[in-house]
Structure 1
Amino acid sequence: MEEIFEAGVFKDSQKLAEAVAPDAPRFVQEICARLLRQETLDQKTSRQLGNFLFSDSAGDAARGMAASILRVRYETAQEYAGLLESLQETIEGFFCEVPEGDPIVQIAEPFDGVDQSYMVTPLLARHVQILGYRVVSLVGRNSGPKFGNNLLDVAEGLQAQFLKRNVDLKCPKPDYGWYIHQKNLSRGMDRWVELRLQIIKRPFLATLERFVNPVRAQMIIASAFHPPYAEKMVTVGEGAGYSGIIIVRNGLEGTLAFPLLRSVKILCSVRGRDGSYRRQELEWNPRQSLGARIEMEEKLTAPALEKNVQLIKEYTAHGRSGHEPFDWRIKATCEGIQQAMGWINEQHVS
């Protein structure tokens, strides 16, 4: 490395930022230098950084540097808030008036999908709509580091209804709700797919891209497989202004579907009349709650997309798919999420 950079550059964070990202704007180099010194950023500075990160200006090396540093040391609540503000500003074409109707719930699955189970998310969306909501799911291209079937793949396989403008939310509710493709939502976000393939590790965007709110949803349902992120995601959801937040913790990896042999923690948060949030952690045990004798957890290897789509269609048509673990998982996930939504609605009433 000393052969590439001038002597002493690694001892000076500003010089290192300038050497690694010479084409980045000066203020971005200064922010990168601060990050190299292990400083945290306030919300305003984080928003300025985000405005650059999601632009098409030169400086991809600076983008990779900032994202990697934030990923390694974990982002603060203020950094998340500022970056989300800048991300929200990249949304194109959706900020028209949302038609009146049932409350809107946003479902936000990880974009890198599942590689050990079938997805049940469209059936969860269908169940939530039966409860009296409109459901919108955010989907996008898979940027890794895992490359399983994601919700975009499943939605396309089902020929689900993709939303391109908010006015269409006045139409009758589709079977599996509406889907918004990230490429139609924000070019700034979609452009990061290629950058993330090079970074490999999940940057902050893997969390924030699920919390942008193009349809002014009142409630969001998402998941966090790794424990430290569940509380962070609740905080992000509160900062984003959702009145109800449900984060599934300890579910199946890569999705918000519930396991069948172990308990699930569900973190809930609800906004009160005074604007403050109240949190509650619920625990849901599938075997106890379903009263089922489930002896084994299904773990697949490279589940086929076509089979996943077929199971969803069969369940929609007949109330069962013929694949027992899949059917139990749908029941467990829908009942657990319904319980969490019930808690949120009880707080609104009281």
Structure 2
Amino acid sequence: MSPLFRDLLKKVGSGAHTHKDLTRAEAALALQLMLEQVATPAQIGAFLIAHRIKRPTPEEMAGMLDTYNELGPKIPAVEMSDPVMILSQPYDGRDRTFPLSPLTALVLATAGVPVLQHGGDRMPTKEGVPLINLWRCLGVDWSTLTLEQTAHCLAQTGLGFVYLPRHFPAAQGLVPYREQIGKRPPIATLELIWNPYQGRSHIVAGFVHPPTETIIRDALYLHGIQEFTTVKGLEGSCDLPRERTAIIGLARNQDLPWQRLRLHPQDYGMGSSNVPWPEDTTTATKMMAAVLAAEEQPLTASVIWNSGFYLWQGGKADSLNSGLALSSELLRSGKVNQHLQKLQTILEKV
């Protein structure tokens, strides 16, 4: 047992009226003791559920991010003309709507906006389809690459993926606790703002509940990060919905206030139902292949809607309408499919 960790646990787990928030340094230490397994399993489980019930503060989340930045892997900076866009997604995956970000990432990279993602395998509590499986559907397996090989792919194709089980085994060691406590721990929010890249970057973090967005925003500000995007996306992802207004938070620099952007898909001819997840990867593979062939189908329109927005935000289009047109043209011309083939070829050689 760790007496030091027990003192931290007592602060967050003392009840609704007597608990105390941790300082940034204390939150960083608590996560370090859990990642290094200095805390016992009983202590780790108790902390994760108690901290969820208490709800993390932005200062605590900033402290946990300190520890991830210190102990986690980092892709070395690659010479790029544009910042790398970090398209963050909940690690426990998707089970209702079709995940769009791998295809979105391909469109962005084709246009010159580099994208880095991170994640693991199927994970509690949702056990939804993870990003790594969707990339495999596209003929890309990131799980075997070293960090150096990932950096090479990022430099050559503008695409990369940090795979938790291989690159951050200490964090992977906390995954079983998610199933045992039956709830997402505060680490699930931390994963949305963790950035495993050392160079210029732009974080895009999805969220569901407004308090989570506030925690994300204020924790990033505490880290001195002034430019990032939050999206009330599909199942907490950064995928823009098509059946409702897209609610987006924009932080662009210290001189501009926090901005709220609301996009109505119907105003751009994009209003429709979100594409459901087909539940099997065989069907998903065929659907993604149809998108790459620019076939007229709901999933293609969803990818154009998302890619158009991020091309606009990534500086490759001067308006959302221009971004939508560029996204459509890149798919229709076959350039996105060609870029995927280039990625596959490079992965075969690393």
Scaled by the length of structure 1, the TM-score of the pair is: 0.80
Q: 1:159 aligns with which of 136, 139, 142?
A: 139
Encode CA deviations 1:32-68: one digit per residue, 9 max, x unaligned: 1112231111111111111101112251111111111
Matched, 1:108 2:88: yes
Report the secondary structure of 1:62's partner residue. helix
Q: Which residue of 2 aligns with 1:282?
A: 261
**Against the structure 1 CA distance between its residues 133 and 238, is the aligned structure 2 distance closer, same or farther, given a 3 Å change threshold?**
farther
- Tell me the percent identity: 20
Q: Which residue of 2 aligns with 1:48?
A: 29
- Provide structure 1 residue ranges, at least 5 long, that are not aligned to the other structure: 1-22
Once residues 185 and 243 of structure 1 are traced to their aligned partners in structure 2, the CA distance between those partners, rounded to angstroms, is 27
Q: 2:50 aligns with which of 50, 61, 69?
A: 69
Equivalent residues of 1:55, 1:188 under 8 A apart: yes
Equivalent residues of 1:113, 1:254 under 8 A apart: no
Superposition deviation, residue 169 in structure 1: 4.9
Which letter maps to 2:6?
A: Q
Superposition deviation, residue 305 in structure 1: 2.1
Scaled by the length of structure 2, the TM-score of the pair is: 0.80
**Against the structure 1 CA distance between its residues 243 and 133, is the aligned structure 2 distance closer, same or farther, given a 3 Å change threshold?**
farther
Q: 1:172 aligns with which of 148, 156, 161?
A: 156
Which letter maps to 1:172?
A: Q
Once residues 64 and 53 of structure 2 are traced to their aligned partners in structure 1, the CA distance between those partners, rounded to angstroms, is 17
Encode CA deviations 1:210-248: one digit per residue, 9 max, x unaligned: 322221251011210222212222223334454521111
Once residues 124 and 236 of structure 1 are traced to their aligned partners in structure 2, the CA distance between those partners, rounded to angstroms, is 27
**Against the structure 1 CA distance between its residues 239 and 183, is the aligned structure 2 distance closer, same or farther, given a 3 Å change threshold?**
farther
Which letter maps to 1:280?
A: Q
**Against the structure 1 CA distance between its residues 62 and 212, is the aligned structure 2 distance closer, same or farther, given a 3 Å change threshold?**
same
Matched, 1:148 2:128: yes
Where is the helix percentage greater, Structure 1 or Structure 2?
2
Matched, 1:31 2:15: no
Which letter maps to 2:298?
A: P
Once residues 49 and 91 of structure 2 are traced to their aligned partners in structure 1, the CA distance between those partners, rounded to angstroms, is 19
Once residues 29 and 277 of structure 1 are traced to their aligned partners in structure 2, the CA distance between those partners, rounded to angstroms, is 42
Report the secondary structure of 1:106's partner residue. strand
Once residues 29 and 138 of structure 2 are traced to their aligned partners in structure 1, the CA distance between those partners, rounded to angstroms, is 40
Once residues 277 and 313 of structure 2 are traced to their aligned partners in structure 1, the CA distance between those partners, rounded to angstroms, is 31
Superposition deviation, residue 133 in structure 1: 2.3
Q: Which residue of 2 aligns with 1:98?
A: 77
Q: Which residue of 1 aligns with 2:240?
A: 258
Q: Which residue of 2 aligns with 1:304?
A: 280
Once residues 340 and 280 of structure 1 are traced to their aligned partners in structure 2, the CA distance between those partners, rounded to angstroms, is 13
What is the CA RMSD across the aligned residues, in angstroms? 2.6
Which letter maps to 2:230?
A: I
Matched, 1:337 2:310: yes
Q: Which residue of 1 aligns with 2:339?
A: none
Which letter maps to 1:330?
A: V
**Against the structure 1 CA distance between its residues 224 and 287, is the aligned structure 2 distance closer, same or farther, given a 3 Å change threshold?**
same
**Against the structure 1 CA distance between its residues 197 and 303, is the aligned structure 2 distance closer, same or farther, given a 3 Å change threshold?**
same
Superposition deviation, residue 337 in structure 1: 3.0
**Against the structure 1 CA distance between its residues 337 and 89, is the aligned structure 2 distance closer, same or farther, given a 3 Å change threshold?**
same
Rg bigger for which structure?
1
Q: 1:183 aligns with which of 165, 170, 190?
A: 165
Once residues 97 and 203 of structure 2 are traced to their aligned partners in structure 1, the CA distance between those partners, rounded to angstroms, is 23
Q: Which has the higher contact order (CA 8 A, sep 6+)?
A: 2
Q: Which residue of 2 aligns with 1:208?
A: 190
Encode CA deviations 1:255-299: one digit per residue, 9 max, x unaligned: 322222211111111233xxx77421111111112x25x5x5246
Once residues 274 and 31 of structure 2 are traced to their aligned partners in structure 1, the CA distance between those partners, rounded to angstroms, is 41
Q: Which residue of 2 aligns with 1:130?
A: 110
Equivalent residues, number:
309
**Against the structure 1 CA distance between its residues 170 and 139, is the aligned structure 2 distance closer, same or farther, given a 3 Å change threshold?**
closer
Encode CA deviations 1:117-169: one digit per residue, 9 max, x unaligned: 22111121122223432211111123222122121211122232635325415
- Provide structure 2 residue ranges, at least 5 long, that are not aligned to the other structure: 320-350
Q: Which residue of 2 aligns with 1:224?
A: 207
**Against the structure 1 CA distance between its residues 158 and 299, is the aligned structure 2 distance closer, same or farther, given a 3 Å change threshold?**
closer
